[in-house]
Structure 1
Amino acid sequence: MSLPVNVEDLIHGKAIEWERLEFKKGWNPEDIVHTVCAFANDLNNWGGGYIIVGVEEENGQPILPPEGVPQSQFDKIQGKVLSLAHQLLPNYFPIIQPYILQGKHILVIWCPAGDNRPYLAPSTQGTKAERHPYIRYGSRSIIAKGDNLKRLQELAARIPFDDRLNGIATVGDFDLGLIQAYLHEVKSDLLEDSRKLSSEDLSRQMYIAKGPDENLRPVNAGVLFFCKNPDQFLSRPWIELVWHKNFSGKDFTEKYFKGPIQDQLRAVLAFIQNNIIQEHVIKNPEKAEATRFYNFPFVALEEALSNAVYHKSYEIGSPIEVQIWPDKIEILSYPGPVPPVNAQILQQQKRIVAREYRNRRIGDFLKELKLTEGRGTGFPAIYRSMDINGSPEPKFETDKDCTYFLTVLPARINNEQEPLANKGSNVALSTIGKAQSKSEGADEGADEGANNETIFYTHDDILGHIINLTFVDGTSNMKTNAKLLLNLMIQEQGKRAPDYAIDTGLSLSTVERYIRKLKRLGFVNFSQQPTNVGGYFITDKLAKQLEK
């Protein structure tokens, strides 16, 4: 039976954080039972993790192609995993699935967060071994001690709301079309199986329902993603948008976005992109390049709204509120950030990594759909995209009791001249002064005041062209992020991939993937010069393009 994830993305760290992956070249029962226990305890509410048997690792990264596991050993290993599950107290049973990766057989052991924490595992495989609670620390499984043990004990009766059973919905309320659309989008092998499985078996396999056969109930995350009308089973899980046409407070449009939360998120972003976001182009006759910017950069908006959908509480029944004003966009969600993040930290730090997550299952689904990345990349991406666009800094607010979270994205206003709005193309044009050059062959008898201007390719035009060449089949979100990365690589040459990941707010795996594509087409290259450390530089091919 297949898992509801794309195994290629999983192994390359594209779907979840590296800390939630453990690679094993071969079968090692002692290490594996400790890791199963640690993932089951899920101290940080990340959603458990995966053990990949048959793939060697180096510094937490997989070494590919994989070593593989002899197919003849699969039944034996699965029996041993079952035996290890009985060693945990209370008993805990992970989900095991064989796969073929690059022509080699591997075994994926999925360990979702357990409902009966804390779990204890034997320290060794001896008959008299002591049992201890194990937790994840970075990419290692260690015995919980001190404050970590106290935190784990406090989680004993606390299951995140998105992973709890919903007392109203039934498995029959899941929409098979939504489930299959998700499996198709994430390229899961479970899609094919979903056409033959019963709704109960499919729900169990996706871990969106729990309980005995006679009382199998959906979990809240499953309701939010795979029911057509989640508001029938949860209180007000929608997004409310108010578009203020001016500052009077009287002229506004109000819209409610309902349905599965992934559809809500996409619909709100599409509405704002089509109706609110506007590009400004300022033409200056003294410069070859026009100045281009947006009133609101889309990357910042996407990250801020995705953050609200990911981290709000769906237990308290307060919708996400989006207020659009001429000079700012406000995104309000409830409650505030999870401790230890507070108002002071929000004001002082531009990169915030939460110690634990409020919605571990929602986060997993959003990451699989490429709607968020986690890993603390959201804030840096917002700050960076606002800075590149020339916008004022974003603001993040909460109160001393962390009862709300407010994101404010100030608009960049065209101070040179009031823009002429072109609502059809979302472009506003402004011309500074008079054009000083005529195009060759211009009619000398043309009406006075008619300007035949020389057409220049702007820096932004060239970047857009390069990105379109490099990412032919890429989504608009991918192209936006790739353009952000390439622009930074042009401005700040000589850095390495981890530096660009931090500066852009993108994950390291995403940055490395984009760089590989740019290298393949000869736009960037890695060089050890001028330092021994080395870094990425643009090639002569790209430099000549930028000179146009």
Structure 2
Amino acid sequence: MNSEQLIKSLLKQGEGEQLEFKQVIRKDAIGKSICAFLNHEGGQVLVGVSDDNKVVGINDAERWEKELTEYLNTAIIPEAPVMVSLEQVGSKQVILVKVWAGSKQPYIFDGSIYFRRGQSTVKATSQEISDLIHNRQKTELHWERQIALGVELEDLDIHEIQTTITRSINESKLDESKGNPIDFLTHFGLFQNGHFTNAALVLFAKNPARFIPQARVRVAFLEKGKTANEFVDDKLLDGNLFKNITAVQDFFEKHLRTSRKFSEKEWERQDEYVVPMSALREGVMNALVHRDYSVPSASMSVIIYSDKIEIFNSGKSPLKAAELKKSHLSLPVNPDIAHMAFLRGYIEKIGRGTIKIMDACKTAGLKAPKWTTSESSVKLSFPLNVKLGGATDGANGGASNDTLTTKLDGAIDGAIDGATKATKRKLSVLLKAIVSNEGKRTPDYKGITKLGSGRTMERYIEQLKEVGFIEFKGTAAQTGGYFITDKLKKIISS
């Protein structure tokens, strides 16, 4: 769902308890509405829409986006993850402001506490304020806010804390007076009465598993398919949330770089992954932020199979699987952890992480990812268009992706004369696709490699046949497919 589709969806939905339209930017009116949403169930303000629900746009929208971000981050007390984004609708620009329900209710704007009552923003009554305070007291008992005994400052990664502080100040999400690590952690409820909280450990401990073993993340590559029992790479990550993000991405880069794209204008090869890295990052980030850390037996895993990638985490999703595929607002399971991820820029637009995953996979020509939810877990599966590792029935002789690529590049270089360097590189990409996906036809390889038109693919196929690297097996074009020859197998296994 792109920006235009999102806005049209909101316009069709119409104003309600969690959605309000405004034609022009009046910072005080927007501030009141956002304060009310924070004190209720979260919500969105769409600016640049007329009274009859028509998009009129905003002039100088980029300036207003920045100015509104700075204003709301300072005018609403206490600080909250307010997200202001610029959205394009045709030739017009609108501004969308989103918030979750706040975890530190009641929130105050301009000296008053505002509440959402139906489609109206009003000042909260005494009873509503009392309820908000009561809800906050219950929040303070949440696992995130519980004290982690025996933890000292030296157990925390000061560099990660300082990185978060610096980014928050630079993005106008934090006052410079909170720049000291202890002041920063205290301000956001991660250091209370001389003790660090569980959330502080998950986010910033050098080794959180020492205190919270269930914070570990398992990453594994089951090369020969889900029915096998041999993992070629299997490890437990003991780092904090930010270190684990990097470690999981490194794991993906190690095992998923299966093809390389080339441009006629660019000589440098660009690595391409079987699933867009942006989609995988969003999936991992969602699992890390929303998983249930409170249960000792809780877990999170990222497992690469030959035909799919699964990201699993313990915890009940607040939404059903079908709802995750749409624009949505939800109360984060771990609001303190979510807020820090927001300050670091890992959560850019509330409720759009799952949509970004869907869009990235669709753009890449992949099957739609699938969410499976239960009372105690959430699983995200990415089906693959290509087979990974040993699932190719040993055709690559056990060579790693990098080794296989090098051998195929050399084979093409030595066997084909008179072709440009760019063409040889494309032939190498196609040949690797055939090695990993034997038995398919030309249209299939066109879809896998995205190298060109059907006629171009047929020309490349003929070149690989002429040098004896591939052969067609089968009785007809509709029932047969291309396979690598014994000649190429010897080159790969050498």
| TM-score category (smaller protein) | 0.5 to 0.7
Give the alignment partner of residue 316 of structure 1, picking from 295, 305, 309: 295
Aligned residues: CA RMSD: 5.5
Could you tell me how far apart the structure 1 residues matched to 2:78 and 2:129 are?
23
Equivalence for 1:63: 64
* Letter aligned with residue 385 of structure 2: R
- The 8 Å contact of residues 45 and 358 in structure 1, kept in 2 or not, is answered as no
CA distance in 2 between counterparts of 1:218 and 1:208 reads: 6
- The structure 2 residue matched to 1:165, chosen from 132, 146, 165, is 146
Q: What is residue 335 of structure 1 aligned with on the other side?
A: 315
Please list the CA deviations of residues 96-150 of structure 1 after superposition, one character each: whole Å capped at 9, or x if unmatched: 9xxxxxxxxxxxxxx99565x5x4989x99xxxxx98624999x844579xx999
**Is the 1:277–1:426 contact (alpha carbons within 8 Å) kept by the matching residues of 2?**
no
Asked whether the equivalents of residues 175 and 228 of structure 1 are also in contact (C-alpha less than 8 Å), the reply is yes
Q: For 1:345-424, what aligned pairs fall within 5 Å after superposition?
A: 345-346=322-323, 350-399=325-374, 402-413=375-386, 423-424=401-402
- Are residue 204 (structure 1) and residue 170 (structure 2) matched? no
| Residues 1:298 and 2:296 aligned together | no
Residue pair 1:223, 1:230 contacting (<8 A) in 2 also? yes
The answer as to whether partners of 2:257 and 2:401 remain within 8 angstroms in 1 is no
Amino acid at match of 1:356: L
Mapped contact 2:220–2:231 kept (Cα < 8 A) = no
Name structure 1 gaps, 5 residues minimum: 1-17, 47-56, 70-77, 86-92, 97-110, 126-130, 284-289, 440-446, 461-486, 488-548
Aligned mates of 1:297, 1:36 — CA distance in 2? 34
Partner of 1:179: 161
- Give the TM-score, by structure 1 length: 0.50
Give yes or no for the alignment of 1:216 onto 2:216. no
Letter in 2 for 1:296: V
Task: Tell me how far apart the structure 2 counterparts of residues 35 and 225 of structure 1 sit (CA, whole Å).
Answer: 31
Q: Which residue of 2 aligns with 1:231?
A: 209
Change (3 A) 1:154 1:362: same
Does the 8 Å contact 2:299/2:313 carry over to 1? yes
Q: Residues 356, 273 of structure 1: CA spacing in aligned structure 2 closer, same or farther, 3 A cutoff?
A: same
Q: Which residue of 1 aligns with 2:115?
A: 134
Task: Call closer, same or farther: CA 1:429–1:362 in 2, change over 3 Å.
Answer: farther
CA distance in 2, matches of 1:264, 1:458: 38
Contact 1:225 1:262 in 2 (8 A): yes
Bigger helix share: 2
Q: Secondary structure at the match of 2:311?
A: strand
8 Å CA contact 2:36, 2:116 repeated in 1: yes
Match among 394, 399, 418 for residue 452 of structure 1 = 418
Structure 1 residues 166 and 386, CA gap change in structure 2 (3 angstroms): same
- 3-state DSSP of counterpart to 2:366: coil
CA displacement 1:37-60 (0-9 Å, x = unmatched): 6477364499xxxxxxxxxx9799
Alpha-carbon separation, structure 1, partners of 2:300 and 2:148: 23
Deviation at 1:170, TM superposition (A): 4.8
Task: Give 3-state SS (helix, strand or coil) of 2:379's partner.
Answer: strand
Change (3 A) 1:19 1:203: farther
1:281–1:428 Cα contact (<8 Å) kept: no
Question: Letter of the aligned partner of 1:451 in structure 2?
Answer: D
- Aligned to 2:246, the other structure's residue is in SS state helix
Q: What secondary structure, in the 3-state scheme, does the structure 2 residue paired with 1:358 have? A: coil
Query: Could you tell me how far apart the structure 2 residues matched to 1:267 and 1:207 are?
Result: 27
Q: Which runs of 5+ in 2 are unaligned?
A: 1-17, 45-56, 81-99, 264-268, 427-449, 451-494
Query: Match of 2:254?
Result: 274
Could you tell me how far apart the structure 2 residues matched to 1:322 and 1:120 are? 38
C-alpha deviation, 1:239, in angstroms: 0.8
Give the alignment of 1:485-500 within 5 angstroms.
Answer: none
What amino acid maps onto 2:244 in structure 1? Q
- 2:219, 2:251 within 8 Å by CA — same for their partners in 1? no
1:529-544 aligned at under 5 Å gives the runs none
Shift of 1:258: 1.4
In 1, Cα distance between the equivalents of 2:118 and 2:332? 16
TM-score with structure 2 setting the length = 0.55
Q: 2:424 & 2:137 partners in 1: Cα distance?
A: 59
Displacement, 1:385? 2.1
8 Å CA contact 2:256–2:273 kept in 1: the answer is no
Question: SS in structure 2 opposite 1:424?
Answer: helix
CA contact (8 A) 1:319 1:333 kept: yes
Q: Residues 192, 174 of structure 1: CA spacing in aligned structure 2 closer, same or farther, 3 A cutoff?
A: farther
* Structure 1 counterpart of 2:305, from 320, 325, 339: 325
Partner of 2:479: none
SS state at 2:185 partner: helix
Residues 214-242 of structure 1 show CA distances to partners (whole Å, capped at 9, x for unaligned) of x3332333222222122233341121112
Partner amino acid, structure 1, of 2:203? F
Residue pair 2:40, 2:115 contacting (<8 A) in 1 also: no
Shift of 1:165: 3.2
Aligned to 1:242: 220
- Separation in 1 of the partners of 2:305 and 2:177? 48
